Amino acid sequence: MADAFPAFTPVTLLTGFLGSGKTTLLRQLLTDPGLSNAAVLINEFGEVGLDHHLLERIDENMVLLQSGCLCCTVRGELADAIRDLHSKRERGIVPPFDRIIIESTGLADPFPVLSTLKADPVLRHHFKPSGVIATVDAVNAGMQLTAYREPMRQVAVADLLVLTKTDIAEPAQVAWITAMIRQINPDAPIVLSSDDAFDVARLLDDTTTVRAEAMQSPGGFYCDDPGPVLAGQHSGGIRSFALVSEGTVDWTAFGIWLTMLLNRHGDRILRVKGVLNIEGEDFPVAIHGVQHLVHTPVHMQSWPGGDRRSRIVFIVDGIVPAAIERSFNAFNGLGAAQVAPRRVEEMQP
């Protein structure tokens, strides 16, 4: 068993601000036959994890790290999860994965994640950081890079930048964002996910150097000693909560509500994503919004984990969750067999 996997298993970090397309890119990566043996760790902020469901691949080599952000509260969990995978691989309990891909939360600072790999005595003898890929949202990155330090650090540390949503952004906006990220990170290759030449299979081959190793983090995080827990290092005011409803959702009312909400408050709603039990539909619909942008809903093929509740996760900055809950209830009383949702969580990253 021991020689079925590399002496140093490469670990790729997939980062990028909220809603910038990390899970979408990961889903594309996992269709590549060359990555069929990759183990995947997904870090989701909050109690209501959705990304692993949206990925629609669940197996023993996929681990969900939840309830906090990888760069602070879940760092120990990350090390434990990789050690656990390693131990199970050695004992032949899980398939012999030959790479790990970590999808961090959109708020994660990549430096402490990388330093966790270097600092842990077990991990550093069996795993090697093999590059940071950062997704950058061509529609929203202008505001995000200006207002928040997390996307700035994600871009700065990246070995490869994937500019997403160039299919729906204005060419001038794409040029502006490209110039902006070039200023932050002058030499990492920039690829456009909508480019005809975009070759997802080559992304990891092209990402083998680890720029962060030569960098001094602005916060001094990237060092051999991961230091104390860094909770509270995120941009202030950002909080996350979820609405969970046992009842069905009226699609028309919901669509109007979400569009109006993001239209009016999109500058303060950094991310909304959900899985909805739509009245009259056999299967759930996944919805995504990023600031003012409502993405095309996706009809899913099954109920994630058999759970038929509607779950909507919000990450907001400067909006009171109760106000969103009230407006959801007011709008979604229109017609459907409604049950008021529970607000299950309210935490600061």
Ligand X SMILES: Nc1nc2c(ncn2[C@@H]2O[C@H](COP(=O)(O)OP(=O)(O)OP(=O)(O)O)[C@@H](O)[C@H]2O)c(=O)[nH]1
Residues that bind ligand X (CB under 6 A): 16, 18-24, 51, 106, 135, 164-165, 167-168, 193-194, 271, 273, 288, 295
Nearer Cβ to ligand X (268/326)? 268
Q: How far is the CB of 200 from ligand X (least distance, A)?
A: 12
Nearer Cβ to ligand X (21/129)? 21
> Where do runs of H (alpha helix) occur along 57-170?
75-90, 110-119, 123-126, 141-147, 149-157
Pairing relationship of beta strands 298-299 and 285-290 according to DSSP bridges: antiparallel
Nearer Cβ to ligand X (51/250)? 51
Q: How far is the CB of 109 from ligand X (least distance, A)?
A: 14
d(C-alpha 280, C-alpha 275), whole Å: 15
CA distances from 106 to 20, 32, 70, 127 (A): 8, 24, 10, 24
Nearer Cβ to ligand X (118/165)? 165
Q: Give the type of residue at 129.
A: P
| Residues paired with residue 14 on neighbouring β-strands, in sequence order | 103, 133
Closest by Cα among 10, 89, 109, 103 to 52: 103
Q: How far is the CB of 165 from ligand X (least distance, A)?
A: 4
Nearer Cβ to ligand X (21/112)? 21
Nearer Cβ to ligand X (123/324)? 324
Nearer Cβ to ligand X (140/233)? 140
CA distances from 216 to 11, 136, 184, 222 (A): 20, 22, 14, 7
- Cα–Cα–Cα angle for 123, 117, 24, nearest 5°? 115
Alpha-carbon dihedral sign for residues 137, 219, 41, 133? positive
d(C-alpha 251, C-alpha 247), whole Å: 12
Closest by Cα among 41, 153, 35 to 99: 35
d(C-alpha 64, C-alpha 43), whole Å: 6
Nearer Cβ to ligand X (53/273)? 273
Nearer Cβ to ligand X (99/273)? 273
Q: How far is the CB of 106 from ligand X (least distance, A)?
A: 3
Q: How far is the CB of 24 from ligand X (least distance, A)?
A: 3
| Phi (first) and psi of residue 90, to 5 degrees | -60, -35
Q: How far is the CB of 66 from ligand X (least distance, A)?
A: 12
Q: Give the type of residue at 195.
A: D
Tokens of 70: 């990888």
Q: What SS3 class is residue 340?
A: coil
| Phi (first) and psi of residue 31, to 5 degrees | -80, -10
Q: How far is the CB of 149 from ligand X (least distance, A)?
A: 16
Beta strands in 140-284 (DSSP E): 160-164, 190-192, 238-245, 269-276
Q: How far is the CB of 27 from ligand X (least distance, A)?
A: 8
Q: How far is the CB of 29 from ligand X (least distance, A)?
A: 12
Nearer Cβ to ligand X (193/277)? 193
Q: How far is the CB of 30 from ligand X (least distance, A)?
A: 13
- Cβ atoms 105, 70 nearer than 8 A: yes
